[in-house]
Amino acid sequence: MATSWVNSAERIGSDLHLELTGPGGRRAALIRALREAVRSGRLAPGARLPPYRSLAADLGVARNTVADAYAELVAEGWLTARQGSGTRVAERAEPLRPAAREPRKAPPRARGPRHDLTQGTPDASSFPRTAWLASYRRALQQAPNEVFGPGDPAGRIELREALTEYLARARGVRTEPGRIVICSGFAHALRLLFGGGVLRGPLAVEAYGLGFHREVLTAAGVRTVPLPLDEHGARVDRLGRERAVLLTPAHQFPTGGPLHAARRAAVIDWARARGGLVLEDDYDGEFRYDRKPVGAVQGLDPERVVHIGSVSKSLSPAVRLGWMVLPERYVDAVLAAKGDREAWASVLDQLSLADFVVSGAYDRHVRRMRQRYRGRRDRLVAALAEHAPHIEATGVAAGLHAVLRLPPGTEASAVKAAAWQGIALDGLAAFRHPDTDMAAGDGLVVGYATPSEHAYGPALEALCRALPPP
């Protein structure tokens, strides 16, 4: 078996990984590997392949083997060979959609599309390694010995105190450490609340949202009921007999608007009148670029709202730390669902995060990232204005993603065109609740935070090439 990274970047735009495996000898294996690279979009239409000699040297195979493989693929229509311009990927070779259709479930890909504009991930190259390491070191140095025993399922008091102060200041959350339970993120909070028997369905959810969260709920036996959305956010006036409602009030995910003030008040009225509960997913509340962040709905009535946050957008989804700010009457039940000792959220990471918040490093990092993401969003808007003025980025200037509104009926082909350009992203349809009868129209959900700084410009250029014409 030969495996090689082909370093012919000037020809194919990036390193090309080819694995020569399977039956039939090296020629057959190379043909399969090249076909797969074209099919998956790793070799884009028009891309020039390396000359026989350099590919043969990279793979450690004979030059004739490469020549034969190219000839076979030319005959099959995957490649074209023209005097003077070498061997290229045929323009009509059909690529598969990138294998990233379920962005929350798929682990990060080592290889794949050249431009990752899927929503959901902060700029991984901006993780504050030095400051986090300093917090970790201080936390470890100062930790009493009992830290290294079984952890309190509520979470370390140092972190709950730090969050009490931070959430009040930054998000308008009214709480005390005794009402905060640490978890490993939003999805874990859902599992504890519903899988742990604290709450039962049916649960109203926004008609567009993260499919992964709906799957978590379904797995816990919870029926989700879609609430339509309009320009003011979720139609909370449609709430009926559901016991609870899950909302993204600061920045509706994925369509991008905040929940209107009248709706925020109305959902609290509903909860008071019906004994219902509001679950507030505050996934990116810190990242608002146009004016002061909208405060948390929890501040309106701490006894009717479970406020849930995590560091997945602000720091990294790899840290796996989140928090639930609970009405007092749910605290014991959530702690019972967690069990006798902490089994999910590393106590050492909790102490690091506490130090990170108290030392001001968290604020500094959020401020820095706010500036960076605002810049990213501005560049996206400017690129559209220049290259595709008929297409608008909608939603408030906030968060780590924007929705590009497309002409009716063009979403599926735009997603496909993006795949042709080597871009991984999703259309709005990927987030639609299967039972809703509302349609949010055609749009692309562009995660502008994900690429590293140097990769963002090329990703935007490729995106503009993929957009439908006026």
Ligand X SMILES: Cc1ncc(COP(=O)(O)O)c(C=O)c1O
Considering the complex, what minimum distance in angstroms separates the CB of residue 352 from ligand X? 17
Closest CB to ligand X among residues 187, 462: 187
Closest CB to ligand X among residues 70, 253: 253
Closest CB to ligand X among residues 105, 137: 105
Closest CB to ligand X among residues 322, 451: 322
Closest CB to ligand X among residues 27, 307: 307
Closest CB to ligand X among residues 8, 312: 312
DSSP 9-55: HHHHSS-EEEEE-SSSHHHHHHHHHHHHHHHTTSS-TTPBPPPHHHH
- Closest-by-Cβ residue to ligand X is 185
Residues that bind ligand X (CB under 6 A): 120, 185-187, 210, 248, 253, 281, 283, 310, 312-313, 317, 322
Query: CA 378, 383, 385: angle at the middle one, nearest 5?
Result: 95
Give the integer Cα–Cα distance in Å for 255 and 313. Answer: 17
Give the integer Cα–Cα distance in Å for 468 and 470. Answer: 7
Helix (H) / strand (E) element for 411: namely helix 411-420
Closest CB to ligand X among residues 87, 310: 310
DSSP state of 151: P
Considering the complex, what minimum distance in angstroms separates the CB of residue 308 from ligand X? 8
The Cβ of residue 241 has, within 10 Å, a number of other Cβ atoms equal to 9
Considering the complex, what minimum distance in angstroms separates the CB of residue 239 from ligand X? 20
How far out from the chain centre does Cα 422 lie?
18
Rg (alpha carbons) of the chain, rounded to whole number = 25
Considering the complex, what minimum distance in angstroms separates the CB of residue 36 from ligand X? 31
Considering the complex, what minimum distance in angstroms separates the CB of residue 150 from ligand X? 24
Nearest to 435 by CA among 203, 232, 139, 255: 203
- Encoding tokens for residue 452? 């590293």
Considering the complex, what minimum distance in angstroms separates the CB of residue 32 from ligand X? 36
- Encoding tokens for residue 329? 């009457």
Considering the complex, what minimum distance in angstroms separates the CB of residue 206 from ligand X? 10
